């Protein structure tokens, strides 16, 4: 049975988490709740508005959907680019430095774990700062595409104010009519963010790398994920199936609370900071 902790503060939560996880090394699996304190909203948190992310089938099958997406992304990606890691990201990097965390598997595309100093990061769902051609598979930086889109659509981003931005750098816009989309500069093919869309599979080598990281770990720490999506949930099942302790830190219930050794219903930043401070530097 799950041991759910109703916390009286981050210190108490961290102490119980240390009891369950030991000295590790454990793998951290993170979701959108990890980045809310950096100003990036999540999809399924208790206070999150309903969202309907674009699917892979919509993106590849309809030029109007692609125009709509790239117009919104042209506005929204700068918001994500300017965000900074919060204390939860920094704490996981400290835990890696202390030898407690061996690596991070993240469902986020915001790259904040790497910015915070985590060295072993598997970007399960890709990265918002890269673009891939669906024809020749050339990968380019999002900054380069921004320059091309700005040339094609002068002042478009500046005309939009008070936008709402989603976790994948998508912005909510009332109208995108007239926006011009850039094609691949190498082959003229369709450009897509290097992000795994709903309805699209995570590349198999990336999945196998994540499984291997879990195999070598002594436990799994989930932070900021409701574990609704199978792409992340499978690693919890994998760790639990090996008899390894699973600790879940999240605001609200998750799909895998029943297999966790401990669940902590709280935000990530303060609890992870208390966890890292409790371990201290590497012995």
Angle 142-152/63-81 helices, nearest 10 degrees?
Answer: 120
Between CA 130 and CA 184 the distance in angstroms is: 13
Give the pLDDT band of residue 4 (cuts 50, 70, 90).
low
Query: Is residue 193 a known part of a binding site?
Result: no
Q: Which residues are catalytic?
A: 125
DSSP class of 173? -
- Residue 54: which of 162, 272, 200, 257 has the closest Cα? 200
Query: Is residue 50 a known part of a binding site?
Result: yes
- The confidence score (pLDDT) of residue 77 equals 80
What confidence tens digit (pLDDT) does each residue in 118-175 have? 999 999 999 999 999 999 999 999 999 999 999 999 877 666 554 554 555 444 445 5
Q: Collapsing DSSP states into helix, strand and coil, what is residue 110?
A: coil
Between CA 230 and CA 211 the distance in angstroms is: 14
* Integer CA distances (angstroms), 146 to 77, 149, 214, 237, in order: 9, 5, 37, 40
Give the pLDDT band of residue 43 (cuts 50, 70, 90).
low
Query: Is residue 10 a known part of a binding site?
Result: no
Two tokens, residue 88 = 């939860």
Mean pLDDT of 16-24: 94
With residue 235 as reference, give the H or E element that holds it.
helix 230-241
Between CA 275 and CA 88 the distance in angstroms is: 10
The full set of domains in the chain, from first to last, is 1-40+84-125+202-283 (3.40.50.1220), 49-82+126-195 (3.30.1600)
């Amino acid at each position: 049975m799950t041991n759910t902790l109703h916390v009286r503060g981050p210190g108490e939560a961290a102490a119980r988490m240390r009891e369950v996880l030991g000295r590790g090394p454990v793998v951290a699996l993170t979701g959108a709740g990890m980045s809310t304190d950096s100003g990036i909203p999540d999809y399924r948190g208790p206070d999150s508005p309903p969202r309907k992310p674009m699917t892979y089938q919509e993106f590849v099958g309809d030029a109007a959907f692609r125009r709509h997406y790239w117009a919104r992304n042209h506005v929204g990606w700068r918001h994500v680019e300017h965000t900074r890691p919060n204390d939860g990201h920094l704490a996981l990097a400290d835990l890696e430095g202390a030898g407690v965390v061996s690596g991070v598997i993240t469902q986020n595309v915001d790259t904040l774990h790497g910015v915070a100093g985590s060295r072993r990061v598997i970007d399960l769902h890709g990265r918002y700062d890269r673009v891939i051609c669906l024809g020749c598979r050339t990968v380019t930086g999002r900054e380069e595409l921004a320059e091309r889109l700005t040339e094609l659509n002068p002042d478009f981003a500046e005309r939009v104010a008070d936008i709402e931005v989603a976790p994948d750098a998508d912005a909510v816009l009332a109208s995108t009519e007239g926006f011009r989309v850039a094609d691949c500069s190498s082959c003229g093919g369709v450009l897509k963010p290097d992000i795994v869309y709903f309805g699209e599979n995570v590349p198999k080598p990336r999945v196998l790398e994540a499984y291997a990281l879990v195999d070598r770990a002594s436990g799994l720490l989930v932070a900021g994920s409701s574990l609704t999506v199978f792409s992340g949930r499978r690693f919890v099942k994998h760790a639990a199936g090996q008899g390894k302790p699973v600790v879940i830190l999240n605001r609200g219930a998750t799909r895998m609370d029943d297999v966790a050794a401990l669940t902590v219903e709280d935000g990530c930043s303060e609890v992870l900071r208390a966890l890292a401070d409790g371990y201290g530097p590497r012995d």
